Amino acid sequence: ILNVEQSPQSLHVQEGDSTNFTCSFPSSNFYALHWYRWETAKSPEALFVMTLNGDEKKKGRISATLNTKEGYSYLYIKGSQPEDSATYLCAFIRGNKLVFGAGTILRVKS
The nearest distance, CB 110 to another protein, in angstroms, is 25
β-pair type (62-67, 56-59): antiparallel
Q: Using alpha carbons, select from 23, 37, 22 the residue that is nearest to residue 81.
A: 37
Is residue 71 a contact point for another protein (CB under 8 A)? no
Per CB under 8 A, the segment of 17-25, 54-62, 70-78, 90-98 that binds another protein is 90-98
Is residue 29 a contact point for another protein (CB under 8 A)? no
Is residue 97 a contact point for another protein (CB under 8 A)? yes
How many other β-carbons are positioned within 10 Å of the β-carbon of residue 70?
Answer: 8
Cβ closest to another protein, residue 4 vs residue 108 = 4
Among 20, 22, 49, 74, the residue binding another protein under the rule CB under 8 A is: 49
b/e map 21-44, b = 16+ CB within 10 Å = bebbbeeeebeebbbbbeeeeeeb
Which residues of this chain interact with another protein, rule CB under 8 A?
4, 9, 32, 36, 41-44, 46, 49, 89, 91, 93, 95-103
